[in-house]
Structure 1
């Protein structure tokens, strides 16, 4: 009878923490004032890196029953890492690490790991069925430093071996976590200690693959001469030994240790600027395992590992810097890359678009980010503008009444009048958009700090930045350049703060609009380097216009999320009629419509003729009509691209 393939390629065991990375580069940790929050811990980083490269990975660890523990679990799930073995510890907190980047050789670290959750892992936490669902288990040197976690690691190894799987040992030596240095010396990578060597060597008979830097090989082998240490390890284990050598690549030894490191199997190295060495080893491991677990030639395994390490050493952070499979293939395609790799626009774009959180293929959004329109309405009906926030807070309730937790729905709200709705949306799974532009501005201005990146740094990570530009490809050169400069500034800010960007283009009323106008506008922005995650465009019943838009987007950015239709206050029947043409274009994912839905309810509510419940019901009902109409149109009219071209 055939043996079923393992559900997972790899389960990593051990550290899982929150990395708090200093955002100021080139100074002491004492002088850093803001920190970026990432998931961290060597086994966690490797699980994420392996998943991004196409491996099916899982993690065995403990996290606290706290905000950071939930963050780790949620982020792992977003990364596609199985969380069956992520155990919630009710009595201990999630571990923390503060990290800084001072210079190419100095990376200060402070570990907050006293009685932390992941170091409480014990043998009883190791579920046999989970471990034996994997083809390999990775254990980690740090988790051999305490008896209970040592036992958990050994049990995981024995279980996977009993099921015919393999054991990977990441030496991962941190002297501070063995109590061998002061707590302020977390970056120290080597202190010789015979007791540590003896403890680490206990796992060697179980190992099929052992990976470490030269310093880590020294502690495992008990000698500061690398070849001597390797030979000592070989005496105790037949495992494949891999010595990481930084910019010189790596050397792998499947059998006897030769006279020189260069006589091993040597994968080509990649010379790039060292920006942040932290996390590079975990990336190497993920890349090497992508090859080794899929039975690639050893030279290929080494190349994958070296390439992944080179990519991550050029970036801020560990887990978020891990490359995806598509990104790795691009890096290895032979094209010339800048020494400062993070300045490679093509590579950075592919990294961004292949690591974004997944979104549904359909999106229907209630847009109530209008500001000047609400102020105008208040003047018209004599209502107090102070009441606007209370009405906008009903938007989320209306969406939730219809959506009932369906992530294909969303809200578009502003931070001036809609902040209560934005705050409440944090507890829901809906898409959240938020405007950045000064209403009605042409040329484009931002409704925020003069430094738009400073403003975005205050926004939650899941808020999509929406920017409306009244933009026409036939604008004067001066007008185009002023607006384009602002859009490019905004895109740069979004990439630096990690926010998705939606660019809304309105060209009607500015100049002549034909079936090519919007496609021309989009092409010009692409030519300048704009690659927003989303476009929001005016409705039209001109199918040729949508063909041109889709062709332009696909040619310039195949990873674009897609297009959302705006409403332009069109009557409901006219908007629904425009769905017939738009729904036939796969690039259009849905709509983000406002005044068509809320105009009547807003006037009645602001004048006291409608209460909250009636307003919610009215908004939800009108929204439902458009959602149903969009879905019906999509169902009727989606056709292959070739059929669309024939219809033009």
Structure 2
């Protein structure tokens, strides 16, 4: 395991952000759930910026605690120091965003898990693998948590590492403000000042807002507070000043604030300041821990804070290293649209290099079967259960396998798949619709809000580049609605292109449709494309993606009504193209089995065995084609 650049210590909870911006918390109708807690947010920010970051905290032995742990793993944060506490619940915070610049907060942290952190939770072996620790001021608010922080700092100092203090002052968490005043940032307290100052003998860097520096220095005059701090530590002190940027003081405190090292802020629209400080800390530490000049570290901190304030949430708003590089290269004037696409693409969970999908999201075919008296909805659902089981038998835990299932006949199988590791996609279009229409109603975002976040949205687009202009315009408008909805709800999009039935198909026909979709500003995470044995068609497809979206997850080959022999030829033609990751095939796997099962010629177990064998054979055919295509010559 790689050495850790830094371990953050302290708060870890779940942020429930009100989605109705500008309203009171009393009037919130829905909340978005995010990872939260200042040191946890910073750890995520550091991991996204390319550092090896860890976290020491406690979470409840509950659903929210498991959510935190899973999110940290997904973000690449080391969780060896995260303990599950069966006796306490995970902390929660309810937050709102008001248009007048206020941000109401309610902390649900009474006897919460992370405040049970103790000295025994500080593992010397874990500290020994890190170069620094980040302490959070909130965890000096009780003797037990303060002792844990001091132990970590002492161990780190003893091995020659560095200690960072984020003042992170929330008066309500020191019982100095009413429970409904969680947004209050400053209440003077000699007791808190004295407690926090006792930590200064162990730190190598201090970071805080002007109000937090007032608290730490015991004076509401910033320069006097800084001079007081300087009598207790020689560590650099970074003062965050919001729209004024930041000032760094490395030695003697001068006569004016602007005589320190001033790093100006970036002028950006402000939507939410709540995560800005954690973003600043991640950006600053990305430079400071890697030995960059202090001015560059400060500029990176300001840039990360500026990026975060334009977004909803704290941890999910943290930028990645490619984002920070792009923002700095453009002098802070990076196009919001291009930056948001980069953010989306670089914060997704990593994708496997292969994706082999059993597609049984079909509805029209089964509706026809029911109408003809060949079955009923429950019997169709049972067959889809069998297909789902066949995929699992073949996959045996391999995350490179997946399912396309609909929410009508496949609802039971979808529910059973919730705890499985496989890729899951669901159709959103009304089967066979052209122009495109969505299941669940015209407002597709409302439909998607009821879907679990891990379910990818599959949309079958019946589109030819030579379609009449009015048809193309209507389909384009629907696609834009869908894309905006998926980004709003956080679902990935798999866009399936069906062109062949609607006009002549040349080697560049599908590529032209894809280029048009990108020109609309739509970036599917996945493409599902018709099988073809024309290598030129796959070359054109790969070229379009390389030019428009270097972060595209990839292409899967759809089967439609292709025979196994045609699919094998298509796999051979597609396999040399690395952008093609696998297939999403349905009828070639299950159609004949379905006919026999619905007519009573075979029982459930026989159907399951045959479905498993058919899917396994399709996976083997793809993998063999891929292996041959990528094998070294000679």
Shorter-chain TM-score category?
A: over 0.9
1:64–1:93 CA contact under 8 A, matched in 2:
yes
Question: Please, which runs of 5 or more residues in structure 2 have no aligned partner?
Answer: none
Among residues 407, 410, 414, which one is paired with 2:406 in the alignment? 414
1:6–1:135 CA contact under 8 A, matched in 2:
no
2:12 aligns to what? 16
2:597 aligns to what? 605
Shift of 1:289: 0.1
Aligned counterparts of 2:348 and 2:374: Cα–Cα separation in 1: 45
2:205–2:235 CA contact under 8 A, matched in 1:
yes
1:227 aligns to what? 223
Seen in structure 2, the aligned counterparts of structure 1 residues 581 and 6 have a Cα distance that, compared at 3 Å, is closer
Among residues 556, 566, 571, which one is paired with 1:579 in the alignment? 571
Q: The residue matched to 2:403 in structure 1 has which SS? A: strand
2:377–2:409 CA contact under 8 A, matched in 1:
no
Aligned counterparts of 2:614 and 2:330: Cα–Cα separation in 1: 54
Shift of 1:464: 0.4
Aligned counterparts of 1:530 and 1:21: Cα–Cα separation in 2: 27
1:104–1:276 CA contact under 8 A, matched in 2:
no
1:41 aligns with 2:33: no
2:561–2:587 CA contact under 8 A, matched in 1:
yes
Moved more, 600-609 or 221-230: 600-609
Written as runs of structure 1 = structure 2, the 5 A alignment for 1:67-466 is 67-334=63-330, 337=333, 344-379=336-371, 382-466=374-458
Shift of 1:480: 0.7
2:47 aligns to what? 51
1:550 aligns to what? 542
Aligned counterparts of 2:562 and 2:365: Cα–Cα separation in 1: 15
Aligned counterparts of 1:442 and 1:176: Cα–Cα separation in 2: 56
2:461 aligns to what? 469
Aligned counterparts of 2:169 and 2:283: Cα–Cα separation in 1: 20
Question: Please, which runs of 5 or more residues in structure 1 have no aligned partner?
Answer: 644-648
Q: The residue matched to 1:55 in structure 2 has which SS? A: coil
1:570 aligns with 2:562: yes
Moved more, 15-24 or 571-580: 571-580
1:104–1:275 CA contact under 8 A, matched in 2:
no
Cα deviations by residue, 1:374-418 (Å, 9 ceiling, x for unpaired): 122344573234411111122221111111111000000001111
Shift of 1:335: 5.6
Question: How much is the aligned-residue C-alpha RMSD, in angstroms?
Answer: 1.4
Aligned counterparts of 1:95 and 1:301: Cα–Cα separation in 2: 32
Seen in structure 2, the aligned counterparts of structure 1 residues 124 and 335 have a Cα distance that, compared at 3 Å, is closer
Shift of 1:336: 6.7
Shift of 1:334: 2.1
Aligned counterparts of 2:378 and 2:283: Cα–Cα separation in 1: 56
Aligned counterparts of 1:401 and 1:381: Cα–Cα separation in 2: 31
Aligned counterparts of 1:615 and 1:183: Cα–Cα separation in 2: 60
Q: The residue matched to 2:169 in structure 1 has which SS? A: coil
Shift of 1:333: 1.2
Cα deviations by residue, 1:131-159 (Å, 9 ceiling, x for unpaired): 12110000010000011100000000001
1:168–1:210 CA contact under 8 A, matched in 2:
yes
Aligned counterparts of 1:194 and 1:203: Cα–Cα separation in 2: 15
Aligned counterparts of 1:90 and 1:336: Cα–Cα separation in 2: 45
2:477 aligns to what? 485
2:21–2:98 CA contact under 8 A, matched in 1:
yes
Shift of 1:450: 1.5
Shift of 1:560: 0.5
1:28 aligns with 2:24: yes
Aligned counterparts of 2:28 and 2:631: Cα–Cα separation in 1: 55
Cα deviations by residue, 1:286-323 (Å, 9 ceiling, x for unpaired): 00000000000000000000000011111100000000
1:381–1:603 CA contact under 8 A, matched in 2:
no
2:506 aligns to what? 514
Shift of 1:103: 2.2
Aligned counterparts of 1:396 and 1:159: Cα–Cα separation in 2: 51
Aligned counterparts of 2:427 and 2:230: Cα–Cα separation in 1: 61
Shift of 1:6: 7.5
Q: The residue matched to 2:582 in structure 1 has which SS? A: strand
Aligned counterparts of 2:38 and 2:63: Cα–Cα separation in 1: 21
Aligned counterparts of 2:150 and 2:602: Cα–Cα separation in 1: 67
Aligned counterparts of 1:184 and 1:122: Cα–Cα separation in 2: 28
2:457–2:491 CA contact under 8 A, matched in 1:
yes
Aligned counterparts of 1:400 and 1:336: Cα–Cα separation in 2: 48
1:174–1:189 CA contact under 8 A, matched in 2:
yes
Aligned counterparts of 1:477 and 1:573: Cα–Cα separation in 2: 37
Shift of 1:105: 2.1
Aligned counterparts of 1:336 and 1:170: Cα–Cα separation in 2: 25
TM-score w.r.t. length of structure 2: 0.98
Q: The residue matched to 1:509 in structure 2 has which SS? A: helix
Moved more, 69-78 or 97-106: 97-106
Shift of 1:582: 0.9
Aligned counterparts of 2:365 and 2:78: Cα–Cα separation in 1: 47
2:266–2:332 CA contact under 8 A, matched in 1:
no
Q: The residue matched to 2:231 in structure 1 has which SS? A: helix
